[in-house]
């Protein structure tokens, strides 16, 4: 058996196994798309298709095995639009997830109170019977709507179908209220459509890409990073707005080191300049938009000089960067970002970005935003789902009417009984999401969990949330299972198959099997009436002109577009899905709900003396906290660091590389120390760290205690009044040189 080091070398992460793209942005090109000829390693020439589960980008690839039939490496599928045949560094580390000896290995049932890691091993029969009986009892007493699903990842679709069949519509992904929700609402308000995933940004052909707090290159959205690299090579200019000199900033023509929390002021000043200098696309604005005159009047006082006093950015820099965008238009993208829950006015900030895109005529234009298309995979025939009597929304009458998806934090809050809210939830099924870290304000999440009569956690790893579960169901990894057909949107409609490359290790099972077994026990078998997953997938694929046999062979199938062009045609008449049928610069929907129809800058709380704003982000080798224990990826980055400006470090006497503790405005000190990175690359008023470290569960033997957790320092949350997003960047930290007493004692 090969060592873990060998896996690093041969999976394309080692120095001999990779080539960095021309612009050095860190996307790794597989040197071979087939087994190496004449290699000392003879390999099993069979390969199985998959799509990567290390992050939500879901790049399609191939899994190869070694001569012993063991999983050896994962590489990109050349036919895939998400990956273009290349996996990012963390994606190539996928086998590390499969070989992780810390994996959950068998079902567990709690034997002591919540929070204590005292479980007994159980058979699948016993664990599933236990869950079914509990859920039935809860439904009899409180109604089926009292069970909620909180989910992230591919298997969630099957549990979602189970919940709907059971009579509950409360199915939430933290990726909405804790990540991309505000931008989706903002783009719906403006263009009548969301941005989607992968984002419909036409970076490939752009001439100007504007990144606002979005650090592509470190945030490894594979296809986007490749397109950004190619665009730079073709001469596109990058404008980066960030208090930190990120990798993207280093590739930029203009870096705007903005004072944190003032982005809306910059955006409104840009809108002011572009309107007043008449740099906007007059034909486009005239033909497609609604509310231009109101917008023009609204921004008249929002000059670059006004914004300078707020953002600390020189007026000349604001004007020059606006001109850069206008020169490139319509091939310009003000990138909508992804994790956009920052200060609580995030829908309005995203609106300002959408408006800027509209003024420059980039929506629906080459080099701006393309019209995506997808294959619609039909569902296996089943009886109609019952109509739930209640949903999570009943806990929030007259609130969040513009939220299109369920709020995970809304379910959490509605689980805690209060005088003002009906207590709706008694059971949670938590699939593939470590709620302790994904929903901010951990204390409140734990309070909600204590109110539950049942919490089931489905995961591959013993993440912190499993310690609070009543029943833990161990899922096999994505390399060991079939999943739903990937049918996400792109320039061309396409599908991708994931199938098992190996039998599940230990006593683990795939999500579809668990959901079907639970359905049988709940008397809902008719909703899962297929005999085998192969039968179901083959039926689905045949409905769209493929088959399981074909997809097992090719992995990815791309279809011709069937409607619309990729871009608006010249003079094409368009109707947008907004109230007015136009692109709304003035939002009638926001006005009708009592919100500002056009964005306004409002000042946010400043750090108290001796504190610095906590900013956080991603590293190319890790995804959230899920990969910190991966042996292959841990070798690339074992712990995070705290970026501190030298002036600040000097005042505190902090040396580069010194371990310190961070403490937030509420007196919460990081459980573990973090190494200081003293660098000019960050403003003096901010501290930056990569998210996903500082794990407290000792069962994660490699990740435990490595680095500090930003999540535990985020105790202050500002709710976006428009759609309920949980803003996390209103937290401040100071420096400590020792652990808290109780932690030191333990
Ligand atoms: S971007 Fe990287 S981690 Fe994410 S799906 Fe693609 S290869 Fe996997």
Interstrand relation of 147-151 and 332-334 (parallel, antiparallel or unpaired):
unpaired
370, 490 contact by CB (below 8 A) = no
Residue closest to 688 by CA, chosen among 728, 645, 654: 645
The chain-wide mean pLDDT, for the chain, equals: 91
Rounded mean pLDDT of 539-545?
98
Residue closest to 350 by CA, chosen among 265, 264, 408: 264
57, 221 contact by CB (below 8 A) = yes
Alpha carbon of 479 to ligand 1 centroid (Å): 14
CA distance 588 to 582: 11
Kindly state the tokens that stand for 562: 């069937």
Rounded mean pLDDT of 26-51?
53
Using CA atoms, how far residue 50 sits from 67, 359, 495, 551, 684, in Å, is 20, 41, 11, 10, 45
Alpha carbon of 709 to ligand 1 centroid (Å): 23
Residue 243 is given by DSSP the state S
User: For the chain, which domains are there?
Assistant: 1-99+477-509+530-565 (3.30.200.210), 190-370 (3.40.228.10), 612-745 (2.40.40.20)
pLDDT for residue 745: 55
pLDDT for residue 720: 96
Kindly state the tokens that stand for 745: 């004692």
Kindly state the tokens that stand for 405: 């998806």
- In this predicted structure, the answer to whether residue 37 has a pLDDT above a threshold of 80 is no
Rounded mean pLDDT of 393-420?
86
Residue 743: pLDDT band (50, 70, 90) is low
- In this predicted structure, the answer to whether residue 31 has a pLDDT above a threshold of 70 is no
Q: Around Cβ 125, how many Cβ atoms within 10 Å?
A: 11
Percent of the chain with pLDDT over 70: 92
Alpha carbon of 196 to ligand 1 centroid (Å): 17
Alpha carbon of 622 to ligand 1 centroid (Å): 10
Residue 333 is given by DSSP the state E
Give pLDDT tens digits for 268-316. 999 999 999 999 999 999 999 999 999 999 999 999 999 999 999 999 9
Alpha carbon of 155 to ligand 1 centroid (Å): 17
Rounded mean pLDDT of 525-553?
97
Q: What 3-state DSSP class applies to 152?
A: coil
Residue closest to 163 by CA, chosen among 142, 182, 184, 149: 149
- In this predicted structure, the answer to whether residue 320 has a pLDDT above a threshold of 50 is yes
Atom of ligand 1 nearest to the CA of 222: 1
Residue 422: pLDDT band (50, 70, 90) is low
Residue closest to 470 by CA, chosen among 460, 486, 458: 458
Alpha carbon of 675 to ligand 1 centroid (Å): 27
Interstrand relation of 674-678 and 659-664 (parallel, antiparallel or unpaired):
antiparallel
Atom of ligand 1 nearest to the CA of 82: 6
Q: What 3-state DSSP class applies to 373?
A: strand
The pTM for the full model equals 0.92
CA distance 740 to 272: 49
Residue closest to 27 by CA, chosen among 36, 14, 35, 18: 18
Residue 30: pLDDT band (50, 70, 90) is very low
Atom of ligand 1 nearest to the CA of 94: 8
Rounded mean pLDDT of 570-598?
96
305, 342 contact by CB (below 8 A) = no
Kindly state the tokens that stand for 482: 């079939």
DSSP 645-713: -HHHHHHHTPPTT-EEEEEETTSPBPSS-EEEEE-TTB-TTEEEEESS--B--TTSTTTBTSS--SGGG
- Give residue 205's region: left, alpha or beta (phi > 0; psi -120 to 50): alpha
333, 637 contact by CB (below 8 A) = no
- In this predicted structure, the answer to whether residue 220 has a pLDDT above a threshold of 90 is no
Kindly state the tokens that stand for 480: 């060991």
- Three-state SS sequence of 62-85: EEEEECCCCEEEEEECCCCCCCCC
- In this predicted structure, the answer to whether residue 423 has a pLDDT above a threshold of 80 is no
- In this predicted structure, the answer to whether residue 26 has a pLDDT above a threshold of 80 is no
Residue 417: pLDDT band (50, 70, 90) is confident
25-40 exposure pattern, b = at least 16 Cβ within 10 A, e = fewer: bbbbbbeeeebeeeee
Give pLDDT tens digits for 496-533. 999 999 999 999 999 999 999 999 999 999 999 999 99
Q: Whose CA is nearest to atom 3 of ligand 1?
A: 91
CA distance 203 to 35: 32
Atom of ligand 1 nearest to the CA of 55: 4
Rounded mean pLDDT of 255-270?
98
135, 141 contact by CB (below 8 A) = no
Q: Please list every protein residue whose CB sits less than 6 Å from any atom of ligand 1.
A: 52, 54-55, 57-59, 83, 87-88, 90-91, 220, 222, 623
Q: Whose CA is nearest to atom 1 of ligand 1?
A: 222
- In this predicted structure, the answer to whether residue 5 has a pLDDT above a threshold of 50 is no
Element (H or E) spanning 723, and its range?
Answer: none
Residue closest to 161 by CA, chosen among 505, 525, 485: 525
Give pLDDT tens digits for 677-699. 999 999 999 999 999 999 998 99
Between 39-53, 368-382, 410-424, the lowest mean confidence (pLDDT) is in 39-53
Rounded mean pLDDT of 416-426?
73
42-51 exposure pattern, b = at least 16 Cβ within 10 A, e = fewer: ebbeebbbbb
Percent of the chain with pLDDT over 90: 79
Rg of the chain in Å (alpha carbons): 25
Residue 635: pLDDT band (50, 70, 90) is confident
172: Cβ contacts below 8 Å, ≥ 6 apart? 148, 149, 150, 151, 392, 405, 406, 407, 408, 410, 411
Atom of ligand 1 nearest to the CA of 51: 5
Residue 419: pLDDT band (50, 70, 90) is low
Rounded mean pLDDT of 528-550?
97
86: buried, middle or exposed (CB in 10 Å: 19+, 13-18, 0-12)? buried
513, 532 contact by CB (below 8 A) = no
Of 36-50, 154-168, 386-400, the range with the highest mean pLDDT is: 154-168
CA distance 696 to 36: 41
692: Cβ contacts below 8 Å, ≥ 6 apart? 437, 618, 622, 623, 624, 625, 626, 627, 628, 640
Residue owning tokens 């080091």: 5
Q: Whose CA is nearest to atom 8 of ligand 1?
A: 91
pLDDT for residue 390: 86
Rounded mean pLDDT of 355-383?
97
Alpha carbon of 409 to ligand 1 centroid (Å): 26
Q: Whose CA is nearest to atom 6 of ligand 1?
A: 59
Substitution candidate for ligand 1 out of 153, 222, 622 with most atoms within 8 A of CB:
222
pLDDT for residue 420: 60
What are the beta bridge partners of residue 418? 421
- In this predicted structure, the answer to whether residue 106 has a pLDDT above a threshold of 70 is yes
Alpha carbon of 187 to ligand 1 centroid (Å): 25
Give pLDDT tens digits for 122-150. 999 999 999 999 999 999 999 999 999 99
Atom of ligand 1 nearest to the CA of 88: 2
- In this predicted structure, the answer to whether residue 258 has a pLDDT above a threshold of 80 is yes
Q: What 3-state DSSP class applies to 480?
A: helix
């Amino acid at each position: 058996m090969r060592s873990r080091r060998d896996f690093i070398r041969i999976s394309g992460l080692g120095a001999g196994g990779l080539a960095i793209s021309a612009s050095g942005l860190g996307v790794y090109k597989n040197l071979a798309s087939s087994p190496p000829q004449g290699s000392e390693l003879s390999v099993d020439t069979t390969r199985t298709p998959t799509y990567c589960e290390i992050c939500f980008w879901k790049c399609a690839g191939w899994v190869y095995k070694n001569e012993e039939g063991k999983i050896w490496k994962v590489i990109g599928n050349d036919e895939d639009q998400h990956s273009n045949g290349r996996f990012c560094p963390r994606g190539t580390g996928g086998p590390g997830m499969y070989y992780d000896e810390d994996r959950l290995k068998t079902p567990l049932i709690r034997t002591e109170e919540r929070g204590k890691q005292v479980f007994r091993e159980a058979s699948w029969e016993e664990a599933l019977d236990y869950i079914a009986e509990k859920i039935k009892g809860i439904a009899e007493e409180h109604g089926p709507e009292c069970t909620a699903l909180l989910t992230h990842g591919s298997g969630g679709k099957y549990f979602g179908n189970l919940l709907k069949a059971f009579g509950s519509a409360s199915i939430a992904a933290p990726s909405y209220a804790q990540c991309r929700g505000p931008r989706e609402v903002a783009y719906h308000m403006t263009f009548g459509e969301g941005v989607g995933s992968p984002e419909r940004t036409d970076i490939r052909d752009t001439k100007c890409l504007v990144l606002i707090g979005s650090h592509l290159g470190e945030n490894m959205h594979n296809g986007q990073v490749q397109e950004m690299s190619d665009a730079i090579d073709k001469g596109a200019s990058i404008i980066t707005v960030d208090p930190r000199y990120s990798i993207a900033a280093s590739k930029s023509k203009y870096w705007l080191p903005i004072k944190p929390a003032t982005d809306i002021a910059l955006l409104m000043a840009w809108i002011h300049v572009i309107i007043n200098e008449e740099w906007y696309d007059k034909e486009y604005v005239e033909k497609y938009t609604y509310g231009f005159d109101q917008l023009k009047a609204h921004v008249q006082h929002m000059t670059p000089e006004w914004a300078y006093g707020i953002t600390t950015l020189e007026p000349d820099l604001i004007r020059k960067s606006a001109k850069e965008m206008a020169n490139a238009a319509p091939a310009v993208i003000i990138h909508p970002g992804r994790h956009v829950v920052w200060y609580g006015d995030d829908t309005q900030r995203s609106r300002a970005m959408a408006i800027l895109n509209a003024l420059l005529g980039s929506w629906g234009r080459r080099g701006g935003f393309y019209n995506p298309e997808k294959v619609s995979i039909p569902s296996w025939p089943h009886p109609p789902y019952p109509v739930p009597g209640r949903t999570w929304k009943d806990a929030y009458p007259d609130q969040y009417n513009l939220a299109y998806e369920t709020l995970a934090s809304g379910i959490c809050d509605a689980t805690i009984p209060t005088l003002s809210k009906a207590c709706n939830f008694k059971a949670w099924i938590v699939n593939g999401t470590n709620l302790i870290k994904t929903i901010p304000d951990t204390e409140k999440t734990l309070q909600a969990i204590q109110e539950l009569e049942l919490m089931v956690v489905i995961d591959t790893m013993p993440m912190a949330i499993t310690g609070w579960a009543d029943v833990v169901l161990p899922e096999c990894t994505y390399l060991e299972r079939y999943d739903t057909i990937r049918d996400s949107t792109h320039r061309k409609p396409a599908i991708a198959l994931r199938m098992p490359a190996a039998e599940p290790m230990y006593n683990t099972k795939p999500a579809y099997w668990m959901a079907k077994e639970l359905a049988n026990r709940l008397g809902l078998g008719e909703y899962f009436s297929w005999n085998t997953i192969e039968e179901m997938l083959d039926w689905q694929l045949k409905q769209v002109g493929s088959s399981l046999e074909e997809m097992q062979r090719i992995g990815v199938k791309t279809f011709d577009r069937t409607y619309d062009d990729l871009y608006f045609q010249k003079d094409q008449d368009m109707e947008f899905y907004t109230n007015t049928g136009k692109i709304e610069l003035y939002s009638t929907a926001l006005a009708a709900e009592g919100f500002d129809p056009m964005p306004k800058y409002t000042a946010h709380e400043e750090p108290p003396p001796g504190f610095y704003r906590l900013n956080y982000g991603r590293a190319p080798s890790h995804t959230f906290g899920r990969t910190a224990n991966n042996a292959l990826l841990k070798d690339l980055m074992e712990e995070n660091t705290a970026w501190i400006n030298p002036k600040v470090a000097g005042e505190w006497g902090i040396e580069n590389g010194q371990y310190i503790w961070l403490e937030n405005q509420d007196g919460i000190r990081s459980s573990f120390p973090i190494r200081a990175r003293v660098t000019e690359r960050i403003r003096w008023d901010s501290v930056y760290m990569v998210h996903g470290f500082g794990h407290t569960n000792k069962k994660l033997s490699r990740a435990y205690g490595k680095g500090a957790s930003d999540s535990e320092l985020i105790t202050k949350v500002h709710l976006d009044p428009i759609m309920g997003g949980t803003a996390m960047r209103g937290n401040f930290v100071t420096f400590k040189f020792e652990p808290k007493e109780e932690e030191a004692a333990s």
